[in-house]
Structure 1
Amino acid sequence: MSGKDKEEDSMQKESTNFNSQGNRLLNNILNQRKLNFSKKSKLVITGLIIGLILIILHSLFSKMQSNPATAVESLKTAISRDDRSEVKNLIKSSNKSQHINEDDIEILIQYLKNHHDYSKGLFKELSSQADKLASDSDAHLSSKYFMNLKPAEKKYGIFPDYKILVKPAYITIKSKVKGTNIYINNKQVGTSTSDDFTHTYGPYMPGIYTVKESYRGNYAKVDKVVKVDTTKNTEVKNIDSVKYVNVTSENEDAEVFIDNKNIGKKIKDVKTLGPITNNTKIYAVAVINGKQYKSEEKEIGGEYNKEETPKLYLDFPTYPGVPNPNGGQVQQLIKNYLVFKCVAVNTGNLGAMNSYIYPGSELSDEVKALVKKYQSKDEKITTKSCNITGCKFNQDGKSGVVNTEEVYNVDKYGVQSTKEYNCSYSFKFNGKTNTYLVYKLLESVSR
């Protein structure tokens, strides 16, 4: 027999015993022939005795209701019966600022009804807490679940009372796109104010929530909807199908088109473009020597998603470029640069590699970041092959673009792997050294 059953059995015996004694007392008083009570006196005495019986019965009932196990059983019953009013009466948020409303109760009831394993474990834990509180009202209790049984203010200042405290949930939203509207259960709760936005919303009743991120911009319109179970996960990351891209081309005066619409900007005006979606189509149109050329059309889906800010190089395959006898020199420049880039990554020494980079180029900083990345992983790389797939000079004869297919061998603690990339580089002639040098990495796409 559990502690609760023993206590109820004891109180039932006390009640039965008192009723029996009360009845005997009443009969004895009324049957005493020596006392000549008036009818009115008999009624008064009877009323007093009945009142005393009711007071004692009420006290016994209140004591029984103050049993911590009763609070647990009452909540379990209320949830099974979908009794929202009773559930609301039995629970309390551990966050004093949280006001529990009807919607909160509905979320709680539906969660516990639809997640039987969690509900079973939760009530088992609450019953265990009730047993501890029954023997020690000051017991310190904690739980891996979102509910705890805690003593509350005493009833009538005498009998102990218990409430089930609910630990509220909080939902953290992360967004990489400024201006994204955020909704939780169809209610807008905020808007991202930066391109590196993080905010925690709450408190909420634990349960299942629908989180929606909605972005409406010049080049993209997209919604992302996810279901969040706050007992398992409380973080929602950004809409990964929308991002910024770096756009370059061999012709910086070419006009940019997005989804077949001229955006009124040239390549040189849109170093960073976006936000756009993964399937947004981008191309450029250039006029060279009075003739119009269209670049290849690109999307940022697939391989580009591996990069934080993808680099899109818009090549003009139908434009042959200007013939130049120095093509072989430029191709060798690229191959030498790639060899010494590997040396820099493996040793941290950028000296030799920098001799192949145009002064002031951002490429040097990019390689520094690459060195840091590989060394943090204890990886070493060597050039396995470099196939030059294209080399075009611009009209000035002093700049142009080289396209490559690069294969690298990666070694980590003796374990070998291979990485392959399609890349595009721009080059420029340096009058001081009278040589061509690598200027920019225009694009790098893993294969």
Structure 2
Amino acid sequence: MNSSKTFLDKYFEDSSEFKNMTFNINVNFKKLKLNKKQIIPIICMSCFIIVFITIGIIFSSLNSPEKAYTNFKNAIEQKNVNLLSEWLCFENGDKIDKNYLEKLLQLMDEESTYKTTVLEKLKNDVYIITGEKPREKGASLLDTLVAEAVANFDSNFNDFSIKPVGNVLFFFPKYRVVPKQYFIEVSCDTKGAKIYLDGREKGTILDTSSLLSFGPFVPGKYYNVEAKYSGKYVTLSDSDQVTLCHNFSNKNKILVELNLNPIYVAVEFDFEDAELIVDGKKTGIKVKEAKNFGPVSSNNEFAAMVALPIGTVKTQSKRVDTWSGKVTIPTLVANDDVNKPIFEKIANTINEFNKSWALAMSVEDVNRIVYCSDELKQYYQENRINEWKQNGKKYIGKPTKMIYNFGTLTLLKDGENFGFNVTIKEYWKFAVYSKDESPPNLDNIDEEEETHVYTMWWDNNSKCFKIKDISSKWFYDWPDDGRIEEYKLDEGSVIQ
């Protein structure tokens, strides 16, 4: 006896009255009467619905998850960019640049394990959506097991997914392969550098502490990122090649660091108000303003233009010292023609000084020396004129020519004062004789050569140079590449 039966079950089983009971149900259908005008719209509507559903089913089958998988797989294997473009798009439906699709095909071609992982992942997506895995023609059991093992290697793999991207006829989902969106972030150490991706300009570095972000991109190989800086004084560049895929990073943002290593220098020069000259060109910047000047290269040459009461003086140039981050502009004056008026001014000063010195010594009047400092006059009075007088001697002589090496002309500064020194080869005819004798004929005296370094300073009161020191050194600088100028002094009068 079945203990699960209830009392009522038993009652109805045993009740003969219940068994003989009959039920009569009468249903009355009211006969519908439709006229021709009513039937035609109904038929048309029914046909439209049937056609709509049929078309929808057809389009849905053409855009099914399995269709998306199959066409994507075929596009990859055939390296068909156009077919790939049709079945691969971003989740919002946006088409993908075919240049990036080429990079994806290259990645699939060179990374076979990655390709297998992608296809198995998409096959698994089809199974999740439809409950049925796509059928692979000719695939052996071993191939299937290996592929599934690879696909399950990384459960976080999400470079590609099959998703509905919009609808067909408003109701039927359209499935496509959707790639993971990758972004390239670029850091660069040079403000003003332009960033290029595969040769196309993408942006400019405005702040070296910030990142530039570009994208979205699809997984792919050989994204070429380059930074270029083209400034007034230097051209710099750096590049890197990036592969975007899960094998290299499970992040969707890939950082590319481009270092141009720009050189900024502190410019040093005694004349801080001088204008900075770089590679022979004026910058419009004063030396005192160039404490973080650049970017520059180790090949740049720095000079200065100094405004003086006698005119503008250009210095020689010097290259950057990349180790110290400094460049000290030399005080040597450049051999350029721009300095020719300065050369003439200095040569005239020294030439006239020497002619007047010869006259002053012969007449024993030190005040006849022009362009001479008071200290030097006193020295000549005591150590030349007075000494000759005490020894009963007299002097006669004249300078015949002066050869200047303006490659040695050096600009000097002492507080607010400025001056120059320069090396000269002097040629003289002279004699020191007894005052009881007749003076010798200079034409019969051999010419003698002397080398001196002259130092002169500008005198603001008299608005001319005053020679302060004339030194004879055991070694003197005479550069062969200096600007050599010769002045004959046989003619011309001494400034009175």
Q: TM-score range by the shorter chain?
A: 0.3 to 0.5
Q: What TM-score, normalized by structure 2, do the two folds share?
A: 0.41
Q: What TM-score, normalized by structure 1, do the two folds share?
A: 0.45
Which has the greater radius of gyration?
A: 2
